[in-house]
A and B are shown apart, each in its own frame.
Chain A
């Protein structure tokens, strides 16, 4: 079956530091890959997505590249802000299953 593995959190950074949150996956079929963000007290919202190999999703300074050869979709941002503090979820959907598969989430804490 499908699975998503994210790095354990929390990730604690100072403002303006570089961010990487690792995500790897296993999937049957041809998956689409997503990053969602959950701010405190809110539901998840889409941050970015990529639907085929080598695509790069980007939004709000965040980027992730769909790497089929390494089955990875790592999230990066060059300079984090305090307002980026949230929980980040990597997820996939595939042509085989209509039920998205989510990682366990990675908490990011950014200090001023």
Chain B
């Protein structure tokens, strides 16, 4: 079946502009995660959704970052007034089942590479 998809695959923007990144999880997956991966770095957790609710937004680096999820499916990560330090690959992952299950692997999308000039 279809995997996790993300769009756009690449985004180049100017400093100060707003950007929207989209994630389509695997159908039926209730949990959705956003991560940021800077060059040569590991994964930085941003936000987690269970259904349409975001019980944990603790990873969002500033109030310029926000995310929503509608219909328990598609999620959008929005970065307002982008800065050069926002340049990174933004990864989305989904998992089946309920929150708290430790056995579930994460299914990752290919990522969106964001470059802020």
Across the interface, do A34 and B105 meet the contact criterion of CB distance under 8 Å?
yes
> Which residue of the partner chain, among A36, A43, A98, contacts B99 with CB atoms under 8 Å?
A98
Contact mask A16-55 → B, CB, 8 Å, 1/0?
0000000000000111101010000111111001010000
Complex Cα distance, B91 from A105, in Å, reads 15
- B56's nearest neighbour on chain A, judged by CB, is A99
**Contacts known (A98-B31, A98-B100); A44 close to B108, Cβ less than 8 A:** yes
Does B106 make an interface contact (CB < 8 A)?
Answer: yes
Instruction: Select the residue from A29, A43, A102, A105 with max chain B CB neighbours within 10 A.
Output: A43
Does any Cβ of B come within 8 Å of A81's Cβ? no
**Size range of the chain A interface in the assembly:** 20 to 34
Instruction: Knowing A99-B45, A105-B42, say if A44 contacts B56 (CB, 8 Å).
Output: no
Q: A43-B4, A44-B91, A102-B42 are in contact. Are A95 and B100 (CB under 8 A)?
A: yes
Given contacts A43-B110, A43-B111, contact A93 B4 (CB under 8 A): no
Compute how far the CA of A49 lies from the CA of B103 in the bound complex, rounded to whole angstroms.
9
Residue B117 lies at the interface, judged by CB distance under 8 Å to chain A: no
Residue of B nearest to A43 (CB): B108
24 contacts between A and B (CB under 8 A): A32-B102, A36-B106, A42-B110, A42-B111, A43-B4, A43-B109, A43-B111, A44-B91, A44-B106, A44-B108, A45-B108, A51-B103, A89-B42, A93-B103, A98-B31, A98-B50, A98-B56, A99-B33, A99-B56, A100-B33, A100-B45, A100-B106, A102-B42, A103-B42
